[in-house]
Structure 1
Amino acid sequence: MTAWLMYLGEDAKRVGQGYDDHPSTHYSWNSRVPNSATVAVGDTIVLWDGKTLLGLSVIEDIKTGTGTADVSSCPKCGKADIAERKTMTPRYRCWTEDCKHEFDAPQVQTVPVTTYRSLHEAAWVDLRGQVSGPELRALCEQPKSQNALRRLRWDDFRTRVETGKNATSLNIVDEARKIIAGGHTTRVTRARKGQAPFRASLLEHFGEVCAFTGPMPASVLDAAHLYSYADKAKHYEFGGLLLRKDVHRLFDLGQIAIDPKTLTLDVTPQTRAYPDYDKLHDQPLTVTLDKKHEKWIKEHWGMHRAQAQGTVPAQASGTNEALVPHSM
């Protein structure tokens, strides 16, 4: 397992280079960055803003291209090891050992570069604020590194995220890596063709009702799959429920599941620490299900609960299940 801590900030340097990064979907860098060509499909990408953790995912694809970059360097020695000083003058200083020159403006040269852009939406887990900047630095293979792309000690990082307060399961990372390793990178992406008709069919079937919390405005209801859409890449007619956006996220992460025997909600202990979610534990669904929903509920339970209990996950055959029509 190779994991990278990647810096995503709003400082002038990144903005000036034209990056349009969005943490949950894509991240850009170029060949001027150390380790630029080492990052690979299937690697885990962990994003931070220099102060705190933002989230993580698995790289599904890397788009490469060509472009240019403005490289700032010391006007005396020509090296790029310079730093901007916020409160001192001259504004810049060269950190090259045999130079140390101070100056008001760097020398800027435009150079050709190879551009890289990761696509990593399918397995994205939002972890904003759960690990501090100093902790993240300490979890790197080289804690004193200043590189934008740094190798992370994955096992230690995972232990930190999955234990303690606000513990979050990272099992989705394992599932995504298996799919990618099997050569199904196109199936991992969350393009989710037909998602709008899928949601429309759920609204027609259930009305404006969150299956966990009750009646809600349609604008806050998501079409939630009861199985891994990244794995199957299909919208099955009885494979979804309408869920309020926050409980949908918790459901995807396995922090809320539906017990297939009782059709009541099972909320993980760490999530029950929050009163609004604690009151959902052991509660029945607010909608009536069809028998055909049950095999998909068993599949979700198998992914997030059965393994932890030492049982074999239930598998939904479902390969010939009728698809939701791709029209409104």
Structure 2
Amino acid sequence: MLAKDGSKRISEGYDDNPATHYSWDSTVPNHATLKVGDVIALWDATELAGLSVIEDITVGQGEKETPYCLKCGKADVAERKQKLPRFVCWNQECKHENDKAGWKKKDVVTYRSRHEAGWIDARGTLSAPQLRALCVKPASQNSLRELRFDDFHHALTHGGVPLPLRIVDTTQRAIAEGHGTATIRVRKGQPAFRKHLLEVFGEVCAFTGPAPVQALEAAHLYSYAANGKHHKGGGLLLRRDLHRLFDLGLIAVHPQSKTLHLDDSLKAYPDYAKLDGAVLTVPVTADHGKWLAKHWDMHRPNLSAASVPGQTAPAETTVIA
């Protein structure tokens, strides 16, 4: 999916927010091929922005006014914002430029995906040429184009900047199973939510202890089924880098002992390796424990809590009723 500020899509009125939703209509090639449960990759014509799983598609009706080229007659015209002539034809065989365009109205079917729960930011992993090469039709100019998913998956998990895809894999499985499994995500909370957490916990990272307030983010835990809603006991403050690693499942919290469990890939880095087995630095409630347990089940599905060596509940761990 192409989602780019200043692109022809924006000038045509499409509503895009790569991390949460994407819109298109029946004038777009491949418009009817997308379905709930599909993995999607969003890019900005320069690099891969991220990927997720479609949770829901809202279908509606609308009227669309579109420009067409006065020379070739094709509805393939983009409106410039800073350069003249105002309109340019995107048809490779035409490329006509003009201060005017023809306009026509037509009834269209509108589509809007929602895909926030499984979102993984992937900037810095694949460039535009690398992404194009992974398409079924690399030379396609369509906004919606099909990927060779197995090759795409391999490129992300085995590339120069390997990207764990547990969130996407688990979200896709949850949707296929009718939402029988909760998908838990961490996201940057709204300012009010972060302020509340600072009032509760102080300037303290739940994983490492006291930290500058500028480095702390609100880790907001929420369920797939209630996407985006605040939940009791659903937040902790985390240092920015640890928030990202927790989001990717490279760090999880043992459900019973409330100690940290690191993915083996992090143990090569001394500053992170020393956190393995460390106790949470803040008191947590039973509600926190519920959300953290679901995060564990998502990212450690093949590792039962009882099987982790040395993970017995320490006396100093505080649980608030």
TM-score (structure 1 length as normaliser): 0.72
Find the counterpart in structure 1 of residue 244 from structure 2: 249
Separation of aligned partners in 2, 1:180 and 1:120: 11
What is the CA–CA distance in structure 2 between the aligned matches of 1:232 and 1:78, rounded to whole Å? 47
In structure 1, the partner of 2:273 is 281
What runs of 5+ residues in structure 2 fail to find an aligned partner? Answer: 308-319
Alignment counterpart, residue 62 of structure 2, candidates 60, 64, 67: 67
Instruction: Return the offset for 1:110.
Output: 2.5
Residue number in structure 2 paired with 1:230: 224
**CA gap 1:189/1:59 in 2 versus in 1, 3 angstroms:** farther
Paired with 1:201 and 1:73, the residues of 2 have a C-alpha distance of 52
In structure 2, the CA distance between the partners of 1:295 and 1:42, relative to structure 1 (3 Å rule), is: closer
- Alpha-carbon separation, structure 2, partners of 1:55 and 1:173: 11
Give 2:217's aligned amino acid. Answer: L
Match in the other structure for 1:46 = 41
Shift of the alpha carbon at 1:32? 0.7
Residue type of the partner of 2:168?
A: V
Whether the 8 Å CA contact 1:211–1:285 is kept in 2: the answer is no
Q: 1:82 to 1:203 in 2, by over 3 A?
A: closer
Q: Indicate whether 1:115 and 2:110 are aligned.
A: yes
Q: Is structure 2 residue 30 aligned with structure 1 residue 35?
A: yes
> What is the alpha-carbon distance in structure 2 between the residues aligned to residue 212 and residue 253 of structure 1?
15
Contact 2:69–2:102 (Cα < 8 Å) also in 1: yes
User: After superposition, what is the alpha-carbon deviation per residue over 1:289-314, rounded to whole angstroms, capped at 9, x for unaligned?
Assistant: 5696778656544533463xxx4577
Letter in 2 for 1:80: A
In 1, Cα distance between equivalents of 2:213 and 2:84: 54
* Displacement after TM superposition at 1:18 (Å): 2.0
* Kept in 2: contact 1:306–1:313 (CA 8 A): no
Change beyond 3 A, Cα 1:67–1:302: closer
The AA in structure 2 aligned to 1:39 is: L
Residue of structure 2 equivalent to 1:321: none
Is 1:183 aligned to 2:178, yes or no?
yes
1:73 to partner: Cα distance:
2.6
Q: CA deviation at 1:156?
A: 0.7
8 Å CA contact retained: 2:184, 2:295? no
Identity %: 46
Change (3 A) 1:52 1:290: closer
Residue 262 of structure 2, aligned match among 251, 262, 266: 266
Q: Structure 2 CA distance, aligned partners of 1:26 and 1:73?
A: 27
**Cα offset, 1:242, TM superposition:** 2.7
* Partner SS, residue 108 of structure 1: strand
Letter matched to residue 224 of structure 2: A
Q: What residue is the counterpart of 1:125 in the other structure?
A: 120
Return closer, same or farther for 1:144/1:248 CA change in 2, 3 Å cut-off.
Answer: same
Aligned residues: 299
Amino acid corresponding to residue 26 of structure 2 in structure 1: S
Deviations 1:22-80 (A, max 9, x none): 11111111111001122111111210001100001111111222223333333344233
Give matches, 1:281-320, under 5 Å. 281-283=273-275, 284-285=278-279, 287=281, 300-305=295-300, 307=302, 311-312=303-304
> For 1:254, what is the secondary structure of its paired residue?
coil
In structure 2, do the counterparts of structure 1 residues 63 and 288 end up closer, same or farther at CA, with 3 Å as the change threshold? closer
- Which residue of structure 1 aligns with residue 156 of structure 2? 161
1:101 to 1:267, Cα distance in 2 relative to 1, 3 A: closer
Indicate the larger mover: 283-292 or 145-154.
283-292
Q: Give the stretch that moved more between structures: 25-34 or 208-217.
A: 208-217
SS in 2 for 1:230: coil
In structure 1, what is the Cα distance between the partners aligned to 2:262 and 2:121?
21
TM-score with structure 2 setting the length? 0.74
Inter-partner Cα distance in structure 1 for 2:89 and 2:199:
64
Distance 1:106 1:244, change over 3 A: same
Match of 2:217 in 1: 221
How many angstroms apart in 2 are the aligned matches of 1:179 and 1:199? Answer: 29
User: Shift of residue 160 of structure 1?
Assistant: 0.6
User: Using the alignment, how far apart are the partners of 1:199 and 1:83 within structure 2?
Assistant: 41
Mapped to 2, the partners of 1:242 and 1:90 lie a distance apart of: 49
Separation (CA, whole Å) in 2 of partners of 1:123 and 1:48 = 16
8 Å Cα contact 1:302/1:313 also seen in 2: no
Q: Shift of residue 175 of structure 1?
A: 1.5
| Unaligned 5+ runs, structure 1 | 1-5, 316-323
AA at the equivalent of 1:178: R
SS of the residue aligned with 2:59? strand
